[in-house]
Chain A
């Protein structure tokens, strides 16, 4: 028994192969990477924290090179410790880089076992350098900051949940396209989320949705996350009334029909809401509620129609209508030619809003 045990232990030690020790204390733990340029002339920025006092200090290394790996090696030469990206939280891409081909720039991450597949990707307006050298002091370390920044939008159903792994899946699937957070900064103040960058395959189309449109994409394509809030201003007989609500449930039914050579798709949405702002009050009366529900339904239908149009024009199927057609209506699906059909589709939304609760006051 003892001999068998020894044999087992020793052989498992040898069979495992080499385990390279990577001492945490000897590495520069990169938390954010920003990429400018494209293959042939890439410039990348690597940020890592240098002091844990508040406000957090961090160092930004820059690297230049022809390939993504070369850039990293170049940056490594400038650092006193070896660069390690195992705890990377966010990768920022210049929109010009993403327009050429995002996958080719990301390939370097997919080939290493130590790459964090949960890292977020975001598209920036203009050079990424500005997003890493923030003038404003931020309350957190910069990697944490961008991670929480994107995560909070995901929690509020504004962005669909994405990370390195999901992004790769979406870039290669035909029936659904990738949408990434689009952030913008004026140079002064903190960067702002400005909507959803629409992708067609592996390339950024150059079109981005607004935050509200992005929220509808998330609700339709991925369902409600933890929260979903909306706010409109109702111009009722010259009086400006704020109407804000939060979505309790978001149920959708899809109806697909073929009209001539076109595919017609109708979303029937049932959406119970809780009012979060409505100064005129008296929401307990059905007579008062009905017009508000009508107003909300109309506005959402209008906004959704705009969103569908924008996506179709950009040839980006971020909602994943293609997947639906391919799975449930295979006779309408044409392999390899989906985008042509998608462009001419007639997509509509019919919304049914119900004010289920009125908040603490009636």
Chain B
């Protein structure tokens, strides 16, 4: 039976991990390579590096980190953040990543997804989508958008780019469908409303995306405890869950989360 994947995400800035320095067992918790090996040993099903470097000029540092990390990992490895072109994708893959997550560039130039998927295969092209809820009184006020009921009222989901700084005005559910149709092999769904709050994932949004998109959905943003992760899977229908803080600050280990999921009937890889 296919296991639901539990995936830690590391924010990497100028070659250092900027979140998740709470580990006392590690000699240098800011070292992405050491942390990656730690998570691999801990039972992570995959690992994500999100490059949050302010400037694109630091690319060589990221590539070096990707290369050194890939050398120690024997699980799938995804890299995202600041990927603008086929050239960037090729560089990241060449340095040992198995998948690249494309966000802003895919929104600005959707055919980048198709071109990349044709060149490298859908299996390594992931569409990463940041969203924020836009509440409306009535669906007629949001023509062409997917409007759903939430406990806070009716809303649709707007796509954001440039690290959540710029609203695009396009419907995220429909964008996810299009990204998959263009050749993205997976979707990472993150929420600006829910990210960092540790109050749970946006399961209403996740469920809609999962229902409509034929490729696997990786849920992101909002995990504060194992129950939130369970809900992203059972309510949000996610195929994989990504989390950062919950693991980095040692609140829960990956193994603890997986055991919790297993006791609630979710198939997970426990070894």
A joins B in a complex: no
**Which residues of A come within 8 Å of B, CB atoms?**
none
